[in-house]
Structure 1
Amino acid sequence: MKQPPNDKVTFGRANPDGIPYLYAAETLDTCLTEVRPANGQQVNIVSINPICDFKVIDLRTPRKNISFLSLAENDNNFDFKNILKLVNLLEDFSRELSLPVLPHRSRLDYIPTQFITEFFKNIGDLKGLVFQSSFGKGFNVVIFDQELIDWQKTLSTQQIRINGVDLKYE
């Protein structure tokens, strides 16, 4: 139920091969959709609790989340054009994280989001990302360090058997 061990971790939307992150979801429905279970499969779910508040990049609505006035107050060299570039970068990053990706293309298609995630992780004290699910239901949370979770206070594991998969098509 935790992030995979270093020797078993594979690439994901936010993490490159060999770098484990904890992927979580806002709701049970979002979690189950992200796992992509087969009909009849059993899925184990756990609710997690952080040990403290920590900083994440909230990519659900970057343009609404950035306060130009607070950025201007903290920077004597405030440059409106650079702030707009940052907002556009965050919107593009958010869109890329939320795009559906075909399994046979994921290794290549995830490279840009992995690179940008690593960049953001290594500046400041950011501990994760929040972004819209690629399935359009709810949002996902990527936590860079599972030690931020109080594993003693997690709720018991819930076992769910998938009784059907609802496909939509054109």
Structure 2
Amino acid sequence: MSITYDAYQTFADKVVNKSRFVLDEESKKFRAFLQDSARKRKRPVGQDQQLVRARKGHAGIENSFFQPYPIEQMLAPPPDKASEGRINPKGIPCFYAADSIETAVSEMRPWIGELISVAFFRPFATLSAIDLTNDIESPLALKICMRKELPASPAEIETQLWSELNHAFSQPVSNTTEVAEYAPTQIISEWLKSWGYDGVVYKSSIHTDGKNYAFFNANLFTEGNEAGMSQIHRVGTIKIKSEPANTILSASNNRNNGK
């Protein structure tokens, strides 16, 4: 199937700025490409896979010790409290988790000294997830800006497109993020769900060695640690790394202007 290396960027621009619920032929072609190539990125998440969820704060102090939130308060929120996310729209809960305590806590973007409740979970049964973490390429905007060689062969284009999805899913969410910006990944998540997959795995942009998991059915998990209890952690250090923002902005503008 012939498809261009900027197919995801084109699709994302359309669903954010033009038409969200009715796909044109180009977007339908992109969807068909994803459905076909997703099969190669399917991976099992078994009952032996321990996943970690974190939540800022604690349940109080007892016998001079901070108490973590109980396990039932560490589950995914109910529908009436499910807010917008990269994977789920408001009102549809999604089970977000991480591969380690470090990743889960980092995703909270805490301050030094902040207390974080942590809980461990395992799925009830083996689940199937689409793994985005193996297609690692530089973002397309950066390649264009740095005048790097752009993907040309079908295999290179496929790797670039799935890498673009990994960047999109990994993008940190903030209180100022516009709801419309969630549309591309939310729509793709709905496609994956309709194709029979249980979730998606993507790199953490905060803890660079870590992975995040998002499962479409929030009811597929139970406690995973032996004691069936959550833990309390205090943040010790935070590592900050910055990069020139105008480099990416310039590349994006050049692409939008047809340069």
Please state which band the TM-score falls in when normalised by the shorter chain. Answer: 0.7 to 0.9
Which one of the candidate residues 181, 194, 207 is aligned to 1:122? 194
Which one of the candidate residues 92, 105, 108 is aligned to 2:177? 105
SS of residue in 2 equivalent to 1:19: coil
Deviation at 1:90, TM superposition (A): 2.8
Equivalent pair of 1:121/1:128 in contact (CA under 8 Å): yes
Listed as ranges, the matches of 1:1-170 within 5 Å are: 1-62=74-135, 88-100=160-172, 102-123=174-195, 125-135=196-206, 136-151=208-223, 155-169=228-242
Deviation at 1:101, TM superposition (A): 5.0
Deviation at 1:23, TM superposition (A): 0.6
Q: Distance in 1 between matches of 2:178 and 2:205?
A: 13
Deviations 1:3-51 (A, max 9, x none): 1110011011211111110110011111111011233322111111111
What are structure 2's unaligned runs of at least 5 residues?
1-73, 137-153, 244-259
What are structure 1's unaligned runs of at least 5 residues?
64-80
Q: Distance in 2 between matches of 1:9 and 1:151?
A: 20
Equivalent pair of 2:120/2:224 in contact (CA under 8 Å): no
- The aligned amino acid for 2:210 is G
So what's the TM-score if we normalise by structure 2? Answer: 0.52
**Structure 1 stretch 128-137 or stretch 93-102: which is displaced more?**
93-102
Equivalent pair of 1:97/1:134 in contact (CA under 8 Å): no
Select the structure that is richer in strand. 2
Deviations 1:122-165 (A, max 9, x none): 12x21111000122231000011232213376642011122443
Q: Distance in 2 between matches of 1:143 and 1:169?
A: 30
Find the counterpart in structure 2 of residue 75 from structure 1: none
**Structure 1 stretch 34-43 or stretch 135-144: which is displaced more?**
34-43
- The aligned amino acid for 2:214 is V
- The aligned amino acid for 2:101 is L
So what's the TM-score if we normalise by structure 1? Answer: 0.76
Larger radius of gyration: 2
